[in-house]
Amino acid sequence: MPTSYTPPAKAIWWKEPIERTEVVWIAIAFLWCLFMFVWMIAWHWIGNQNMANEAYKTTPEAYAAKVEAFTAKYTVRQDKNDPSLPVVHPPAGSDVYLAASRWQWRPLLELDKGKSYRLHISSLDWDHGFSLQPLNLNFQAYPGYEQVVTLTPASAGTFTILCNEYCGIGHHTMLGKIYVKE
Amino acid sequence: MSTVALSPFRIDVVSGLRMDLKASTLIKANAVAAVVFLLIGGLFGAGVGLTRWPAVHLLSAEYFYMALTGHGVVALIVWVIFFEIAVLYFCGSTLLNSRLATPRWAWVGFWLMIIGALTTIVAVLQGNSSVMMTSYVPMDAAPHFYLGLILFAVGALIGCFVFLGTIVIAKEEGTYRGSLPLVVFGALTAAIIAIFTIAAGAIILIPTFLWSVGLIHSVDPMMYRVIWWALGHSSQQINVATHISIWYLIASLVFGAKPMSEKVSRTAFLLYILFLQLASAHHLLSDPGLSSAWKILNTSYMMYLAVLASLVHGLTVPGSIEVAQRRRGFNRGWFEWLRKAPWGNPVFSGMFLSLVIFGFVGGISGVVMSVEQVNMIIHNTAYVPGHFHGTVAGGTTLAFMALTYYLIPVVFQREVILPRLATLQPYLFGIGTAVFAVAFMGAGTLGVPRRHWDITFAGLPLAHEFPGMAYMLTAIAEFAGVVAVLGGVVFIVVVVGSLLFGRRISEDAKPYPRVADADAGGHKEIGLVGFEAPGTFVLAMVLFASLVLYYFINFKYLATLWPLR
């Protein structure tokens, strides 16, 4: 008796007709696959949430220097929750530099609602995961590559940056903030 | 000693299969090793689950990350690949009625895998290799963490080539006629995917090992991720090809089913070989330095052609069961064939639950999360482990468990002990895993990160407070995870107990599970509305509607995000 674990019953199995259940299903499934492929491309035009995939090669040292200069230039106050951390308020439309390192996101940012910023993200040591909550927006960060995302905060409030890429024993303590002002 | 022992083959009384004794010993060795490592991986997993459960929070951060590394390595790599080697030998030798090629090399491969696995586990337990299974550079593990993985991979590679050699021998010696059986064709697919997957692993793990001992200055983090995931994701496609072959096999063993169409099923396997390897991109969608064109082409497996293949198998496997059942006389209505299926037989129930969980939980979530843009709201959240427990635990592991209940009488020649417990086991493990997966995906959509010791951020000035629902979903997930671990423990108790204390199967035993030839029923006109498998078609359309709905729900949610370019 023919089964799936014995050779095909008919030697010329590739000329056997295909039963209707399969034909109809394959047609539906294939059309849906094509749709998903086209939709993913189309979202780059019809959607507002896309990664520009703008990125640059860098080094941890060079990037740290950029972040330091940026922080020194635009620091407006020390954070009220943790006075050791500077809060930086860059002008609208400018380049914003955020550094991931074990185990913090530096500096804390203050942005204006409705304004666009070019947010640069990179790591100074190991891989980290930029995870903005409660928005739930996530990017990968690793050393040597500087990712640029142009984002426009659409809601005011306090947002926390978690790390969601495991980065050693202090991984769960790695936090940062983005304060969005009206 | 009987003459059977002198001959290199024995005819199995239960299955009627002719078995090369050397292959049989190797199948046993690999399957037993697999089950032992499943126990180790499961214990690590229990430690992880009981720590992530906020109310329990069992382990310290240090032991949690260690257990998580161990769980990933052992459950996702060691257990599945040992079992897959057993399946390859079973398919290549037993199903093709052939002797196994170079059993000595097969033993070399086996011991390399054992030594490699133990080396890596020791490295993890020593404590300075808590780098997770993914071990992203420049985070560094002890050199023997990588070395163990490399040895394991070499052993597995040898196993793949022994399988290929066996197929060549079988053809040469004419042990079967015509084309390869579909199940063996599927196993061949798995072996081919395994070979290029392991090659990718070697390309990245060997330099990483050399870097860890100081012979190479650095390994580029982006290169590491691109190539490592050609190992990490594609090795899950070995699992998919293997467990789908097992679905077809069990459909035939339990129901006497034959493929609805050889052409369709084989083409679907071929699509896996051609396009599955592109899935490396699934892990890189939020990474810097890769273009959208690259991401879209790769993440979609070249226009979703590998997804199409899975959708096809998802229909043809239950479809073949439906056709067989209808031919046997269960032809009434839409679902009589399914109601009258042997739900108390763990070989069947495990296989069918595996099919449903893989499709509805792992499959739908996988297709949606791998959309370039949707990935931004999912990347590295708890959604990710939720998804892959739907595929690898609920899909692959459960299918392997189901097959084990068949291998115990056929290969080990023992009766399964505690049959009532065995009947319950697939449900315990399957439902536990499915609930874990869905609840953890829910927690992920609320932002809960993966691989995280403390989502309460206790004592930290910048702490984030997740919504109450996130904690509840995490607790539900981990409770269900513990249920799944219990299901795993029951499995191991039944298997090990059967091997040690199960009654030896006598020479006049009855075939198990007993199957009649479906075609002998004489029911020629089957099905409804011109479909031979209308019930399966309805089930497939339910899956399709769920997928479409869920796809657009995610885009609707994505559209509420801050504008981003």
How near does any CA of chain A get to the CA of B95, in Å? 7
pLDDT cut 90: percent of chain A above it: 96
- Supply the pLDDT for residue B54: 93
pLDDT of B277 > 90? The answer is no
Q: Is B530 on the interface with A (CB under 8 A)?
A: yes
B contacts of A141 (beta carbons < 8 Å): 288
pLDDT of B465 > 70? The answer is yes
Best interface-test mutation with B: which of A15, A104, A166 has the largest number of B CBs within 10 A? A166
Q: Is B73 on the interface with A (CB under 8 A)?
A: no
B447 with A50: Cβ contact below 8 A: no
Give me the residues paired with residue A86 across strands: A78
Q: How would residue A181 be classed by pLDDT, with cut points 50, 70 and 90?
A: very high
- Supply the pLDDT for residue B413: 93
A139 with B286: Cβ contact below 8 A: yes
How many Å separate Cα A153 from the centre of its chain?
15
- Supply the pLDDT for residue B524: 72
Examine residue B342 and say whether the peptide bond preceding it is cis (omega within 30 degrees of 0).
no
Residue of B nearest to A20 (CA): B531
* Closest residue to B178, CB basis, from A4, A11, A28: A11
Query: Which residues, in sequence order, are CB contacts of B549 under 8 Å at separation 6+?
Result: none
- Supply the pLDDT for residue B5: 40
Closest listed residue to residue B121, CA positions, set B153, B148, B91: B148
CA distance B402 to B405: 6
Number of domains observed in the structure of chain A: 1
Q: How would residue B509 be classed by pLDDT, with cut points 50, 70 and 90?
A: confident
CA distance A107 to A85: 7
CA distance B345 to B352: 11
A7 with B551: Cβ contact below 8 A: no
Interface of B with A in 469-498 (CB under 8 A): none
B287 with A140: Cβ contact below 8 A: yes
- CA angle B344-B350-B353, nearest 5°? 105
Looking at the domain assignment, is residue A77 inside a domain? yes
Interface of B with A in 200-259 (CB under 8 A): 220-222, 225, 248-249, 251-253, 256-259
Is residue B166 within 8 A of residue B96, CB to CB? The reply is: yes
Residue of A nearest to B375 (CA): A138
Residue range A31-41: mean pLDDT, rounded: 97
How many other C-beta atoms are found inside a 10 Å radius of the C-beta of residue A50? 18
**pLDDT tens sequence across B180-217:** 999 999 999 999 999 999 999 999 999 999 999 999 99
- Supply the pLDDT for residue B514: 57
Q: Is A150 helix (H, G, I), strand (E, B) or coil?
A: strand
Q: Is A78 helix (H, G, I), strand (E, B) or coil?
A: strand
CA distance B123 to B404: 30
How near does any CA of chain B get to the CA of A69, in Å? 23
Looking at the domain assignment, is residue A168 inside a domain? yes
- Using DSSP bridges, classify how beta strands A175-181 and A145-151 pair: parallel, antiparallel or unpaired: unpaired
A175 with B457: Cβ contact below 8 A: yes
Closest listed residue to residue B450, CA positions, set B552, B510, B516, B382: B382
- Supply the pLDDT for residue B518: 63
pLDDT of A92 > 70? The answer is yes
Q: Which amino acid is at B448?
A: V
A143 with B533: Cβ contact below 8 A: no
Q: Is B319 on the interface with A (CB under 8 A)?
A: yes
- What CATH number is associated with residue A110? 2.60.40.420
Query: What is the reported pTM?
Result: 0.96
Q: Is B54 on the interface with A (CB under 8 A)?
A: no
Structural domain of A87: 54-181
* Closest residue to B380, CB basis, from A1, A131, A144: A131
B181 with A165: Cβ contact below 8 A: no
Residue of A nearest to B470 (CA): A134
Written as six digits, the tokens of A126 are 């190991």
Q: Domain-by-domain residue ranges, chain B?
A: 15-178, 381-456+464-507
How many Å separate Cα A113 from the centre of its chain?
20
Looking at the domain assignment, is residue A73 inside a domain? yes
CA distance B323 to B39: 37
B558 with A144: Cβ contact below 8 A: no
Q: Which amino acid is at B329?
A: G
Q: How would residue B513 be classed by pLDDT, with cut points 50, 70 and 90?
A: low
Chain A, chain B: beta-carbon pairs less than 8 Å apart: 317
A contacts of B257 (beta carbons < 8 Å): 3-4
DSSP B93: I
Closest listed residue to residue A123, CA positions, set A88, A99, A106: A99
The 8 Å CB, 24+ separation contacts for B333-341 are B333/B528, B334/B528, B334/B534, B334/B535, B334/B538, B335/B535, B337/B535, B338/B535, B341/B255
> Phi first, then psi: what are they for A181, rounded to 5°?
-95, 150
A contacts of B319 (beta carbons < 8 Å): 21-22
B378 with A138: Cβ contact below 8 A: yes
A contacts of B253 (beta carbons < 8 Å): 3, 5
CA distance B220 to B208: 10
**pLDDT tens sequence across A98-127:** 999 999 999 999 999 999 999 999 999 999
Q: How would residue B521 be classed by pLDDT, with cut points 50, 70 and 90?
A: low
How many Å separate Cα B30 from the centre of its chain?
16
pLDDT of B507 > 80? The answer is no
B562 with A162: Cβ contact below 8 A: no
A contacts of B531 (beta carbons < 8 Å): 19-21, 24
A50 with B183: Cβ contact below 8 A: no
Residue range B226-233: mean pLDDT, rounded: 93
pLDDT of B85 > 80? The answer is yes
Best interface-test mutation with B: which of A1, A4, A82, A151 has the largest number of B CBs within 10 A? A4
CA distance B114 to B105: 14
Looking at the domain assignment, is residue A19 inside a domain? no
Looking at the domain assignment, is residue A98 inside a domain? yes
pLDDT of B4 > 60? The answer is no
A contacts of B320 (beta carbons < 8 Å): 4
